[in-house]
Structure 1
């Protein structure tokens, strides 16, 4: 049984479904609810209400379930930031990560997978693929990649010190059904939402203006989830860190073209003048060790997401 922190979150909920589809059973750890979604009822999934920063409550889960692996997808970072108590917020975030390892050590789990982010590559310049062994900048422009870099270093230390099999999942820009973030770092989710709503996109939440040429490694959430599930269940992994991504750069222009094929009158045009350079995550390691191949190209992703939104789902 795989314990999944953040199992009802955006990536977590899809990953639980991917694990179940592969024949695994799951226990979802959530801080605020004890209710399983209707589509998980009757499947090999259960939910435990607990805060991972409460060590005793977290360890008690192991008394009720035979946990064989842990997928830590809840954010071990102070997000959203707490300007009133920044030190306490940072301490609490890292406590959650330490508690996951404490539980893994006491439960003798087979593997701990920990979510990292494409953001750790921030500061790496140039075009082309970004590989897991590339040197990373010590600086970071945002607290999320800051804490993910800290987490990867702590994970490596604790793996060596305890002998736990620990794997970092550097997740690319993930989007699709149940995404609550919208245009937080890239424009595609809001472009699709605007097309489904019949409105103009609101891209004011982006860190800067969006252009047609702007690109990023964009992975549809169902592919992201399946890749994580394959890594978690693999009999053997030869590395400690894996890029979880599409393995290609997708431009806003490609997203707009796919949208227009389905919604010709969508008001989703963007100006030109963006950065033409394209970088993306190298997924050779992931493919070699798990057999993973992305199933959702740009057109299929856009079609699936628009259908989901038009079915009455809020995000």
Structure 2
């Protein structure tokens, strides 16, 4: 059987494709390439360019390939953009996910892994690692759009022969340890990517948004997870469902947080040079602190992170930025 990866030309999706191929899986990719790249998709994967909401294309994909699982990454991911364009985010992340889920049910696809987000939590009531059982109260249209999709998956699983795993990502960073892919999107807002690009002189400075949060140094605190550990959690989720495991929502993080200023200091230390930093007002939709309690993923999926080291994450991100520089991709 094959696995369909939506958004397989994007940052996390391209890593997922490589991880599946490394695991001996047959892989099919659909991506409209709005932010992803054709070159980032492993050549062993079968590629369809198009939109997940194109029901005719989805029928074609399911008829031409023996697919038993979907890993769904396609979507928009920038929190401030979602605040400025909520309807666009609800369309791309929620409405189109609904169409994909419907296509999957009609085709009899039994397993579905969803790229969700820690943004479904908003700012937790207590500033400590969050479990999946806390109140879900997203503070941005991005978080709400993902939570709506989780709800649709839950209800679909109750009505059909359909099992899903929703993985709630914390802050994803780094690049493939083998150097095959990384975060390549122009204008990406991921802190570690922007800091690495600034350290290498590809950006004039980096902005810190807000220094008055209720955190030790006043800047936002996040849990940073290496992209390769993240895609391994997806593989574990797929294996668990194929073995008869039920539907699940689980955090993907390491259980410890770093502030924005701590991350910038770590980039300075790894790269060995300073860079310009500017300070701005808070951005809308940014919670003060969100750190994962990953116990459920470890227990239910048997997930054992291998790259839980901020310096190592930064080093792999820097290596990928140097690769982009050599490719003249800036």
Question: TM-score higher than 0.5 here?
Answer: yes
8 Å contact from structure 2 (residues 8, 41) kept in 1: no
Q: Secondary structure of 2:291's partner?
A: strand
Q: Secondary structure of 2:67's partner?
A: coil
- Which among 180, 185, 189 is matched to residue 180 of structure 1? 185
Q: In structure 1, how many angstroms separate the alpha carbons of the residues matched to 2:261 and 2:87?
A: 42
Shift of residue 165, structure 1, vs aligned partner: 0.2
Q: In structure 2, how many angstroms separate the alpha carbons of the residues matched to 1:270 and 1:238?
A: 47
8 Å contact from structure 1 (residues 212, 252) kept in 2: no
Matched, 1:282 2:288: no
8 Å contact from structure 2 (residues 67, 109) kept in 1: yes
What residue number does 1:25 align with?
Answer: 26
What residue number does 2:162 align with?
Answer: 164
Q: In structure 2, how many angstroms separate the alpha carbons of the residues matched to 1:301 and 1:78?
A: 21
State how 1:233-248 maps to structure 2 within 5 Å: 233-234=239-240, 235-248=243-256
Deviations 1:130-174 (A, max 9, x none): 11111222xx43210011111111111111011300121111111
Shift of residue 28, structure 1, vs aligned partner: 0.5
Q: Structure 2, unaligned stretches of length 5 or more?
A: 175-181, 283-287
Matched, 1:193 2:193: no
Q: How many aligned residue pairs are there?
A: 303
Deviations 1:83-129 (A, max 9, x none): 89x76874565442222222222332231111111101103222221
Q: In structure 2, how many angstroms separate the alpha carbons of the residues matched to 1:75 and 1:283?
A: 24
Q: In structure 2, how many angstroms separate the alpha carbons of the residues matched to 1:292 and 1:192?
A: 28
Q: In structure 2, how many angstroms separate the alpha carbons of the residues matched to 1:27 and 1:81?
A: 29
8 Å contact from structure 1 (residues 116, 169) kept in 2: yes
State how 1:1-315 maps to structure 2 within 5 Å: 1-32=2-33, 36-37=38-39, 40-41=42-43, 43=44, 45-75=45-75, 90-91=90-91, 93-137=93-137, 140-176=138-174, 177-180=182-185, 184=189, 187-197=191-201, 200-203=204-207, 206=209, 208-209=210-211, 214-234=220-240, 235-267=243-275, 279-296=290-307, 297-313=309-325, 314=329
Shift of residue 175, structure 1, vs aligned partner: 2.0
Shift of residue 303, structure 1, vs aligned partner: 1.1
Q: In structure 1, how many angstroms separate the alpha carbons of the residues matched to 2:24 and 2:297?
A: 20
Q: Secondary structure of 1:27's partner?
A: strand
Q: In structure 2, how many angstroms separate the alpha carbons of the residues matched to 1:39 and 1:52?
A: 17
Q: In structure 1, how many angstroms separate the alpha carbons of the residues matched to 2:193 and 2:251?
A: 21
Q: Secondary structure of 1:242's partner?
A: strand
Shift of residue 252, structure 1, vs aligned partner: 3.1
Q: Structure 1, unaligned stretches of length 5 or more?
A: none
What residue number does 2:285 align with?
Answer: none
Deviations 1:260-281 (A, max 9, x none): 333332226688xx9xx86411
8 Å contact from structure 1 (residues 53, 92) kept in 2: no
Q: In structure 2, how many angstroms separate the alpha carbons of the residues matched to 1:232 and 1:68?
A: 10
Q: 1:46 to 1:170 in 2, by over 3 A?
A: same
Shift of residue 183, structure 1, vs aligned partner: 6.6
Shift of residue 200, structure 1, vs aligned partner: 4.7
Q: 1:298 to 1:27 in 2, by over 3 A?
A: same
Question: Could you state the TM-score of these two structures normalised by the residue count of structure 1?
Answer: 0.83
Q: 1:113 to 1:81 in 2, by over 3 A?
A: same
Of the structure 1 ranges 224-233 and 194-203, higher mean CA displacement relative to structure 2 is found in 194-203
8 Å contact from structure 2 (residues 205, 276) kept in 1: yes
Q: In structure 1, how many angstroms separate the alpha carbons of the residues matched to 2:207 and 2:318?
A: 18
Of the structure 1 ranges 126-135 and 189-198, higher mean CA displacement relative to structure 2 is found in 189-198
Q: 1:38 to 1:221 in 2, by over 3 A?
A: closer
Q: Give the superposed CA RMSD.
A: 3.3
